[in-house]
Amino acid sequence: MNNKLFILTKALLKNGFGIKATGKKKVRQIIFIILISLCFVPLLIGLSVFISTMYDALKVVEQEGIILSLGIAVSSFVIFFFGVFYVINIFYFSDDVEILLPLPLKSSEIIGAKFLVTVVYEYLTELILLLPLFVIYAYKSGPSFMYYIYALVVFLLVPVVPLSIASVLVMIIMRFTAIAKNRDRFKMVGGLIAMFGAIGFNTVIQQFTAKSIDPQQLQEMFTEGQNSMVELMSRIFPGTKFAALSIVHNTGVQGIVNLMIFLLIAVASFLIFLYFGELLYFRGVIGISEQAAKRKKVSREELGKLSVLQSKLKAYTIKELKLLFRTPIYFMNCVLINFLFPIFMLIPLLTQSEGESELESIKAIMNIGIFDGIIVVVGFAAAMLISTINSITSTSISREGQNLYISKYLPVSYKTQILAKALSGAIVSFIGVVTILVSVTVFLELPLYLSFMIAGISLFGIVCMSFIGVMIDLFHPKLNWDNEQKAVKQNLNPLFHMLLATIFCVAAIWASIAFFFSALTACAVIIFAFGVIDFLLYKLIATKGVKLFSDIEV
């Protein structure tokens, strides 16, 4: 292939990561990236401890190389799983598809560039899953210099096989079925499958981790041949075994032979992908931008029901909510996350062997009565965090994108539009809080009067965070995006929103512990303090917020 492949890959990466800032904006962008990276530190620490424990246990029976096979196999599975949805978005639902098709580019160059872009995205996954494994293995085993060369080659090639399989599967589906013609429905169903699949995978990993904490159990599991996961992954993703063996035997001829086999398998996978891509891709991508629609004749009575006069604030709030629920990316990242919290919260307690005793301990604390004030404040703090994690208000202006100019012409005041955006976020957040409270009340036997207290005071915290989120997005909206995912997933305003919420939460919990408030006193203090804060923020939105909104240029 000629240089066009790499030029196109570079252009797609630059567009995908949004690397357009210069000067002060570029410095701010770098700072944002650093802050996001720091958020993964706790996960990396926990994973590193787990890997270290496995290595020590397996070292006793001289089977430490198994963790390399297991790590590469698990990484391949995760890459394949998320790769399916990366391929769908990058190959089919990216807005650059219609721009690239008429250009003087070979089909192999377009699909090859998109494949390389997908590989680069998967390197980020490997940084979390595979890099800690290689680093700890090197630290524990003290290998030769060739270890690092072999590990680097394996790191670069691991995504090729699972992504090739994922890409071919997706192209077959897109070519021979009409499922992709309804773009929004396809994204919604696919996203739900991915999200619940991730939850299931997380559950399995937690159970596996819990069983692997005891070094004796870990030794028995592998020495007795109970490594079916490694064997299964090796069959599904050819080459994982050779990749691991090349690193283990990095000082001998066996290492070179295994590395060459792994390299040949990766190259063969890529060539097979290109072959099927040229056969299937263009036939499946043509017409992908068309939207399915139902044609229905509306009667005069139905039109009258749809044209009921209502307040501008209510109408605009409903419009914002419909946009959140009808747009797949917004629904999955902003709405659905509110209702997944009970699942994420209860899975560790219900799946682990010691979960029953932990549940009983938590129930005892909930009902002892002494800690009612702290429980109320912790519930209030959780409500504030939920209203920021869903990123509804902190992306409310950004989600308008290049269509923001339409808001300037609507017969609705800027103040009303801003309040509607804050109100829509508050409504979804409150429903999420109520869902969690119901789960906690049922499974952890939280007293009913505490649930009602938390629900009542949480409104003050949710409104506060909603106002702050909108103001953050007004100060720094991300309007230049070509698909909805960038407006939410590549927007750093939610990070600042969560940091501010964390400060509020820590301060509130510290005060409840330091002064040991009763439940009623805690409610009174929160209602007064955040009532004043909410009023001041409302005034700020009515003045500074309106001015910021009017000054935004698209």
Same domain, 352 and 399: yes
Domain hosting residue 102, numbered range? 20-285
**Taking residues 474-499, what's their average pLDDT?**
81
Selection from 274, 294, 326 nearest residue 181 by Cα:
294
Asked whether residue 290 is domain-assigned, the answer is no
- In single-letter form, the type of residue at position 397 comes to I
**Which of 37-51, 179-193, 229-243, 503-517 has the highest mean predicted lDDT (pLDDT)?**
503-517
When comparing pLDDT for 419 and 360, which is higher? 419
- In single-letter form, the type of residue at position 264 comes to L
Asked whether the beta carbons of 69 and 230 are under 8 A apart, the reply is: yes
CB-neighbour burial class of residue 439 (10 A; exposed 0-12, middle 13-18, buried 19+): middle
Same domain, 321 and 232: no
Same domain, 270 and 342: no
Q: In the chain, how many domains are there?
A: 2
Asked whether the beta carbons of 9 and 113 are under 8 A apart, the reply is: yes
Give me the pLDDT at residue 228, please.
44
- In single-letter form, the type of residue at position 216 comes to Q
Asked whether the beta carbons of 313 and 423 are under 8 A apart, the reply is: yes
**Taking residues 503-521, what's their average pLDDT?**
86
Give me the pLDDT at residue 227, please.
42
Number of other CB atoms surrounding residue 375 within 10 Å: 23
Measuring CA to CA, how many Å separate 136 from each of 47, 67, 139?
10, 11, 5
Tokens of 128: 């979390």
Same domain, 189 and 276: yes
Q: Name the CA dihedral angle for 34, 36, 38, 43, rounded to a multiple of 10 degrees.
A: -150
Asked whether the beta carbons of 8 and 96 are under 8 A apart, the reply is: no
Asked whether residue 477 is domain-assigned, the answer is yes
Asked whether residue 303 is domain-assigned, the answer is no
SS3 80: helix
Asked whether the beta carbons of 473 and 547 are under 8 A apart, the reply is: no
Same domain, 341 and 201: no
**Residue 19 pLDDT > 70:** no
**Taking residues 164-181, what's their average pLDDT?**
73
Query: CA–CA separation, 267 vs 156, rounded Å?
Result: 12
Same domain, 165 and 63: yes
What's the whole-number average pLDDT of the chain?
Answer: 77
Fill in the DSSP letter of residue 480: -
**Residue 89 pLDDT > 90:** no
Query: CA–CA separation, 178 vs 468, rounded Å?
Result: 43
- Greatest alpha-carbon span in the chain: 82
- In single-letter form, the type of residue at position 200 comes to G
Q: Sign of dihedral through CA atoms 463, 497, 391, 471?
A: positive
Query: CA–CA separation, 392 vs 380, rounded Å?
Result: 19
Predicted confidence band at 213 (pLDDT cuts at 50, 70, 90)? very low
Selection from 550, 554, 540 nearest residue 419 by Cα:
540
**Residue 59 pLDDT > 90:** no
**Which of 54-58, 66-70, 249-253, 518-522 has the highest mean predicted lDDT (pLDDT)?**
518-522
Asked whether residue 299 is domain-assigned, the answer is no
**Residue 51 pLDDT > 90:** no
pLDDT tens-digit map of 340-364: 766 666 655 555 544 455 566 666 6
Asked whether residue 4 is domain-assigned, the answer is no
**Residue 86 pLDDT > 60:** yes
Fill in the DSSP letter of residue 452: H
Asked whether residue 546 is domain-assigned, the answer is yes
Same domain, 78 and 113: yes
Angle at 224 (CA atoms; ends 218, 230), nearest 5 degrees: 75
Number of other CB atoms surrounding residue 218 within 10 Å: 22
Same domain, 264 and 393: no
Q: What percent of the chain has pLDDT over 70?
A: 72
Number of other CB atoms surrounding residue 535 within 10 Å: 10
Asked whether the beta carbons of 351 and 203 are under 8 A apart, the reply is: yes
Same domain, 391 and 274: no
**What is this structure's pTM?**
0.63
Element (H, E) at 262: helix 253-285
Least confident range of 35-49, 200-214, 432-446, 460-474 = 200-214
Give me the pLDDT at residue 204, please.
54
Same domain, 95 and 205: yes
Asked whether residue 3 is domain-assigned, the answer is no
**Residue 179 pLDDT > 50:** yes
Measuring CA to CA, how many Å separate 140 from each of 56, 68, 72, 136, 330?
9, 13, 18, 6, 44
**Residue 478 pLDDT > 50:** yes
Asked whether residue 296 is domain-assigned, the answer is no
Same domain, 450 and 408: yes
pLDDT tens-digit map of 218-259: 555 455 444 444 444 455 567 788 888 888 887 888 889 988
Same domain, 360 and 461: yes
**Taking residues 540-553, what's their average pLDDT?**
88
Query: CA–CA separation, 333 vs 85, rounded Å?
Result: 15
**Residue 427 pLDDT > 90:** yes
**Residue 261 pLDDT > 60:** yes
DSSP track, 372-419: HHHHHHHHHHHHHHHHHHT-SGGGTTGGGGGGHHHHHHSSS-HHHHHH
